[in-house]
Amino acid sequence: MAALLLPARLESQLGWRHEGVSQTLAIGIEVLDFQLDGVPRGRITEISGPLCSGRTTVVHRLMAAAGAEGEYCALVDAANAFDPATARAAGVRLERLVWVRCGGDLEHAFRATDLLVHSGGFGLVVLDLCDIAEENLRRIPASYWFRFRRAIESTPTILLVAAERPPARSCASLSITAERTAADFSGRLFRRARYRLERRKPAVARAAEVEVACV
């Protein structure tokens, strides 16, 4: 597992240390932000859904929103699935991103996440488990999620966990499920898609419908 150390002089620039940081961070998807009233800081949020469900779109939008606020983000990429070019096109500021590649090693991914949430200094820490087999996710000890929750509960850091199925369960304060409901193609070229995003925890009566165009 590779590690990246930030120079001490950057410490004062980290967004979470700024006074007056809001208690939530808007995702940047209007209909979803209206429904959620922002993603809570100091809490675990999970976004789950199958492949091509829109979960990565939500992750990128939240990373872009944190960067726009002047905050640093950390991405723990369990399966080396992150595409910097796609993220940059979605507005993610790569110069404010610490990217940890774990090569499919789930133990390394959780150790890296543990180090990041306890180190402080990040407005957003993303744990991407989307391409990890479900049977491996079921073996994750619940103690990890309780440890992560305790580490961030008094900080402005958001821990966002992305997976095919909700992994953090009772330790997550906000749980969103995603599915693709429509896709438009011009020949073989993907043009746009429509996604259904539903807040499962806390429960809400109506899901949000989001349309994203290919750029």
> Please, what are the averages of pLDDT over each run of 10 residues along the chain (215 residues)?
42 46 81 79 94 89 94 96 94 96 95 95 96 90 95 95 92 90 62 76 62 49
**Residue showing tokens 């898609």:** 193
Give ∠ CA 188-49-189 in degrees, rounded to 5.
Answer: 10
- Between the alpha carbon of residue 200 and those of residues 122, 173, 204, the distances in Å are 26, 10, 7
| Threshold 0.85, pTM exceeds | no
**Residue showing tokens 């979803």:** 32
Compute the distance between CA of residue 61 and CA of residue 56 in angstroms, rounded to an integer: 8
pLDDT of 20: 53
Q: What is the CATH number of the domain that holds 142?
A: 3.40.50.300
Number of structural domains found in the chain: 1
pLDDT of 73: 97
pLDDT of 102: 96
Is 10 a domain residue?
no
pLDDT of 130: 93
Is 168 a domain residue?
yes
Is 69 a domain residue?
yes
- The one-character DSSP state at 156 is S
Compute the distance between CA of residue 25 and CA of residue 27 in angstroms, rounded to an integer: 6
Note if the bond before 141 is cis, omega within 30 degrees: no
pLDDT of 30: 77
The whole domain housing 69 covers 22-174
